[in-house]
Structure 1
Amino acid sequence: MTTLPTGRSVRSTPEGLLWEPSERWVRGYKGEVAVVDSRHPVLVWEPDLPVPQYAFPSGEVRTDLLRPAKNPPTGTHTGSQIFHDLEVDGELRENAAWTFPAADLADHIAFEWFRRRDTGLDRWYEEEEEIFIHPRDPHKRVDALPSSRHVRVEVAGTVVADTRRPVLLFETGLPTRYYIPREDVRLDLFESTDHRTGCPYKGRAQYWNWRGGADVPRNIVWSYPDPLAPVAAVKGLLAFYNEAVDIIVDGVRVERPVTPFTASLKA
């Protein structure tokens, strides 16, 4: 019988990594093949990456599917790593996995996941719930709270939303997002797009573009038609990027924040 640690603490390595054991059951699939099936994953934070990633004991990874990397990259992750290509059913994905140089993480294997397509695995699960983009950070909160604040949104000087029944979404490290009922949004001023994103805390989002012709970034409005249970209150509501529109809350104009999304918001 394996005794699990009862205390949780973040530890550091000389290489600048932070890591913490997790008690979640994590599985990763390439197609229908379970490449990772781990009950002892470790969350790892790299210095220049704002979200955690998982590393797994090699005994809980299908190492028989890994090959020495033919074209290993440089400068991709912290320290000097050993990269592996992944081969499943005749398909090769280069540099899909790697090992960290830290002694604390010896005999652990990590897989590409965060914001990278066509590398690593196709699907990830924590327990029985599919997780998108990156693992959830246990030190981060996301709360969706119904409110009676008066919220008005302007795009290029035009009032596009006005409500007294928003849902405010508070997410650690990001500005407050104001989710507004569709009936209180001038959705006729926008057009739907094919853009889709996934969030490990909220689910999958759909987007709309501004039709006004001004210098406004694309996909400025989004909604979660089927959000994850913890943020069910935002279901079907619409939110705007604070970074690129004007939001007035109870008569006070909210300062446009600078966030990790700012650079990617282009007209």
Structure 2
Amino acid sequence: MTVHPAGQSIRSTPEGLLWEPSERWVRGRKGDVTVVDSRHPVLVWEPGVPVPLYAFPREEVREDLLRPAERPPVGSHTGSHVFYDLAIGGVVVENAAWTFPADDLAGHIAFEWFRHWDSGLDHWYEEEEEIFIHPRDPHKRVDALPSGRHVQVEVGGLLVADTHRPVLLYETSLPTRYYIPREDVRLDLFEPTDHSTGCPYKGTARYWTWTGPGDVPRNIVWSYPDPLPPVAAVQGLLAFYNEAVDITVDGERRTRPVTPFTDGLKV
């Protein structure tokens, strides 16, 4: 196995994959069993997928727990070659791992994380920190900055938030999100739901949905009650999907962006 030094430019394969060696120590567990223990992982970006995944040298994977998949999926993962089921203690996790046919990634095995809840491992760690949802992208940055800007939010033409003390969250490849103190939001026009989402950069969010008139998507307001330390400034504040509401900043109406979340905002 050739160990590439970290920090080199991202490489591409004829199949359209992008990949980059990493020096992070990555471990994956199913229950109490360590399935992956790698000091030479490779980050892989598939075409059209905004988040990376890891592939690991075979010698750093418990291959004795893998067996050829009985029902391999069709069209799942870019140019995927061989799928494996994971068998531990009588429990079989179908299509938990696979290989890419790309020559650059020969000898590596990739694993599902949390995008498919029934096919991934239970716990992943980078060094000693547990990582949730998907691997963190080393080329992505998230900054939460307190601001004195004047931010107003309208839903269906009704002013529902008005503040001069927002926290602006800048996240690579996404529109700026405006986090607003609860006292500056007409939260009486919304009701909490049981919806939640997770983010490896920010934590777990809870949601509210619009109770007023008009065709407004559900769960357009969210908050992080216990955010991860790098974005602690947004704790308890409320944010709105720019894609579904009208936001004015310092008197300038912002255009509603089109993002990977747009199609998922259903009325």
Equivalence map 1:1-267=2 (5 Å): 5=5, 7-113=7-113, 115-267=115-267
Deviation at 1:214, TM superposition (A): 2.2
CA contact (8 A) 2:3 2:40 kept: no
Mapped to 2, the partners of 1:40 and 1:91 lie a distance apart of 28
Mapped to 2, the partners of 1:255 and 1:115 lie a distance apart of 30
Of 94-103 and 207-216, more deviation after overlay is shown by 207-216
CA contact (8 A) 2:143 2:231 kept: yes
Mapped to 2, the partners of 1:258 and 1:69 lie a distance apart of 38
CA contact (8 A) 2:114 2:120 kept: no
Identity of counterpart residues, as a percentage?
A: 78
Mapped to 2, the partners of 1:177 and 1:186 lie a distance apart of 18
Mapped to 1, the partners of 2:195 and 2:110 lie a distance apart of 29
CA contact (8 A) 1:86 1:120 kept: no
CA contact (8 A) 2:154 2:246 kept: yes
Deviation at 1:182, TM superposition (A): 1.0
Deviation at 1:116, TM superposition (A): 1.6
Q: What is the one-letter code of the residue matched to 1:124?
A: W
Mapped to 1, the partners of 2:122 and 2:191 lie a distance apart of 30
Mapped to 2, the partners of 1:30 and 1:191 lie a distance apart of 37
Mapped to 2, the partners of 1:114 and 1:21 lie a distance apart of 22
Q: Deviations over 1:136-174 (max 9, x none)?
A: 111111111110000011111221111000000111111
Mapped to 1, the partners of 2:241 and 2:12 lie a distance apart of 35
CA contact (8 A) 2:144 2:231 kept: yes
Q: What is the one-letter code of the residue matched to 2:30?
A: K
Q: CA RMSD in A?
A: 1.5
CA contact (8 A) 2:80 2:98 kept: no
Mapped to 2, the partners of 1:226 and 1:8 lie a distance apart of 35
Q: Deviations over 1:66-123 (max 9, x none)?
A: 1110011121111141000111221111111000111111111101125222112122
Of 208-217 and 164-173, more deviation after overlay is shown by 208-217
* Change in CA separation of 1:28 and 1:213 when aligned onto 2, cut-off 3 Å: farther
Q: Deviations over 1:199-257 (max 9, x none)?
A: 11111111111111421111111111111111111111110000000111111111000
* Change in CA separation of 1:83 and 1:210 when aligned onto 2, cut-off 3 Å: same
Deviation at 1:40, TM superposition (A): 1.0
Q: What is the one-letter code of the residue matched to 2:99?
A: T
Mapped to 1, the partners of 2:196 and 2:204 lie a distance apart of 7
Q: What is the one-letter code of the residue matched to 2:179?
A: Y
Q: What is the one-letter code of the residue matched to 1:110?
A: A
Mapped to 2, the partners of 1:108 and 1:38 lie a distance apart of 11
Mapped to 2, the partners of 1:15 and 1:167 lie a distance apart of 41
Q: What is the one-letter code of the residue matched to 2:34?
A: A
SS class of match (2:233): helix
CA contact (8 A) 1:53 1:114 kept: no
SS class of match (1:59): helix
Of 195-204 and 6-15, more deviation after overlay is shown by 6-15
SS class of match (1:244): coil
Mapped to 2, the partners of 1:107 and 1:4 lie a distance apart of 14
TM-score (norm: length of structure 1): 0.96
Deviation at 1:6, TM superposition (A): 5.2
- Extract unaligned runs of 5+ from structure 1: none
- Extract unaligned runs of 5+ from structure 2: none
TM-score (norm: length of structure 2): 0.96
Q: Count matched residues.
A: 266
Q: What is the one-letter code of the residue matched to 2:153?
A: V
SS class of match (2:93): strand
SS class of match (1:183): helix
Deviation at 1:3, TM superposition (A): 7.6
